[in-house]
Chains A and B, each alone.
Chain A
Amino acid sequence: MMRRWPLLLPVLVFFVLVGFFIWRLVLMGQGDMPNMIPSVMIDKPAPDFELPPLLLNKPGLKTGDLQGRVTLVNFFASWCVPCRVEHPLLSQLAERVNLVGIVYKDKPEAARAWLAQLGDPYQALAQDSDGHTGIDFGVYGVPESYLIDKHGRIRYKQVGPFTPEDISGKLVPLLAELNK
């Protein structure tokens, strides 16, 4: 019987695989999707950029503006459907954090119309018309949001729209820590 043990190996491999799949499914349930690319920008200073304003009565955005207080940089576009879904949550968030928006590869007039329709929760609004600043941040789809600490370092990246769970589970605790 001793030399029969390798016959059990496929069974063992089967259960190891099942365990692995269950583990991944649980992680996916918690929002860790396999198509999300881990950001290399976390804990690095925000990239150098200077973008023109979208509106006449609101400033644009540059790297220097991200110093001194915790800021949430939100990349969005009027052509982006998930951004519309995310918008009410961002409006609520704007009461807790300095929220600034970067309009990613969009026509300015379309972005202005979008904000006029849905409301404008942003403290500053900048245009990234060629998407270059987006690439410098590591954006690969909109919406994406970056939480920047008081020293101008990226501390958190949200790929895709915020969900209420993301906000209560990840963003709010991190905000409390960074605002200390």
Chain B
Amino acid sequence: MMWIKAPVRGLAVLAFLLVLQGTAVAVQPNEMLQDPKLEARARELSKDLRCLVCQNQSIDDSDADLAKDLRILLRKRLVAGDSDAQAKQYLVDRYGDYVLLDPPFKASTVVLWVGPLLLLLVAVWLALSYARRRALGTVADAQAAPLNEGESRRLAALLKSEDK
């Protein structure tokens, strides 16, 4: 491959690495279940479960030891016949709603769910009242008292001088 120039080779390596990066998953082959249907359910569920060590990764993404243990445990629950909701509840019972990346709507999470909406409403209200004030301002300007004779003459003079 002597004829490939260095930059091209660099790009090729980069492209190869990008492809690899896309396929990298934390789930090890020996963790996977034989039954592809159950395995698919486990994968879907673990995408919604938070790794408690890394805290912003799902257990499906995380390489942490605990995430691996939780993945295996989740699969055990599914094999034992748990429904998706039961398997999730099993972990919520131990780690709380915190383990869910998509937290449920209830008293303790109201701020989380309603907060952004409230902020948006406040922002819209501020924007509207600002826009209305500006509109009122222009109307008020238009309704201002007409120029008296002296003012008209001065304005004409000013405009004339600017024309030159």
What is A's interface to B at a CB cutoff of 8 Å?
3, 6, 9, 35, 37-41, 105, 130-132, 135-138, 140-141
Contacts and interface: CB of A to CB of B under 8 A. Distances in A.
Nearest to A34: B55
Contacts of B65: 105, 131
A6 B126 CA distance: 8
Nearest to B96: A40
Interface of B, helix, strand, loop or mixed by DSSP: helix
A40 B53 contact: no
A10 to B, nearest CB: 10
A40 B69 contact: no
Given A105-B65, A140-B52, A39 B126 contact: no
Interface size classification for chain B: 10 to 19
Contact of A135 (B53, B92, B94, B130): B94
9 contacts: A6-B129, A6-B130, A37-B52, A37-B96, A40-B92, A40-B94, A131-B65, A132-B73, A135-B66
Interface in B54-73: 55, 65-66, 69-70, 73
Interface of A, helix, strand, loop or mixed by DSSP: loop
Contact of B69 (A9, A37, A135, A138): A135
Given A140-B52, A141-B53, A41 B98 contact: no
Contacts of B53: 140-141
Nearest to B51: A140
A138 B95 contact: yes
Given A6-B126, A105-B65, A39 B96 contact: yes
A78 to B, nearest CB: 15
B93 interface: yes
Interface in B78-108: 92-96, 98
B41 interface: no
A135 B53 CA distance: 13
Contact of B93 (A40, A131, A141): A40
B95 A40 contact: yes
Given A35-B55, A37-B52, A3 B133 contact: yes
B119 to A, nearest CB: 10
Contacts of A3: 133
Contacts of A137: 94
Nearest to B73: A135
Contacts of B70: 135
